[in-house]
Structure 1
Amino acid sequence: MIGSPLPRSSGSAADVALWFVASSRPRRVAVIAAAMTATVLIGYPSLRLAIGWVIGTSTMLAVALTAVVAWLLGNSSRQAREHHAELRAHAADSAVAGERPRIARELHDMVAHSIGIVALQAGAARRVITQPERARDALGAVETASRETLSGLRRMLVALRAAEGSADAEPSAVPLTPMHGLADLGLDWAAV
């Protein structure tokens, strides 16, 4: 019948499409889709009334309400996804911020330890300057400790650059070795 109102199921495909647009597209696009749906939902009955046909008020209200619910559900779904993405980004930022003090402590400990060794060896070299062999050994230890500190700093910076995704970082280029302690100085403390 030409003058009969739409069946209630006629809006279900449009509701699914409206939900999809509201849930997967930016808010601006979702609002445009909702406005277009509202235009059709208002324009169709207005046209039917202008022609003189009957409109099924309850049917039109049901179709309009399902469209509104579909849009609201889709919009809520999109907002929930965006919120979870923001939470993940915030958690990642917090993890990075929490890691920075640890890295700073490690750098400080490594440099302070090595500078302590350099200071001890330089002091020993100064005391035994009249004994060339012992002075050479102490200055060699200063050089070794300085090179190891520099190497450790390079490893740390390479690892940090690799963590940032830098293409030029090569973490395997510098071998990882443990730091030396005071026992590794090889000094005769009684003579110093």
Structure 2
Amino acid sequence: MMARMYVELDDFRQSAIIAKNEIVKSVRGKRFLASAILVAIVWALITLVPFLTGKGWDVLTLGDMLSSYLSYANMFVVLVVGLIGSVALVSEYEERTALILFTRPVKKTTIFIGKFLASFLLSALLLLAYYIGVVAMTLIYHQTIPLNLVESFGMCCCYIVAATGISFIFSAVMKRSSICIIFSILA
């Protein structure tokens, strides 16, 4: 019994190490930077468009403001998961690091869980940055933080889990990351 618990704890520790390494590798990569820039540009455009049209945010209700921002949340999930999550597995084969990784005494499920966790955390982090921008705007113009933002973020996190799962399916069977990204975004 004790040996089995040790194996499970060791698998969890190995998954955490794999997730940490995957996060570091992804944050240093171009895809994460492209995702972060995309989120920042779209947030800035949504914020600036009312001023460019001459209305400003003062005349819009809180519901209109939230609708303007949150209507793009689904698009962000698809694009961010497509850019970050869909290449998690295929990159191991493309960069030939899988030959080294799979010869180690680490279970494939442990590797999968670590990579899945890293993809989820990075995608959720970028989406959280977007939601923080939305919260800032609602505080500036309406002096309130609607509780449905928390609910919306929770639903987006569930969507991230589902989209990451679908992108991992493509990542497991494809041989090129560029094709995997396209299929993940289209799916």
Is TM > 0.5 for Structure 1 vs Structure 2?
no
Larger Cα-atom Rg = 1
Question: Which protein has greater RCO, CA pairs closer than 8 Å, 6+ apart?
Answer: 2
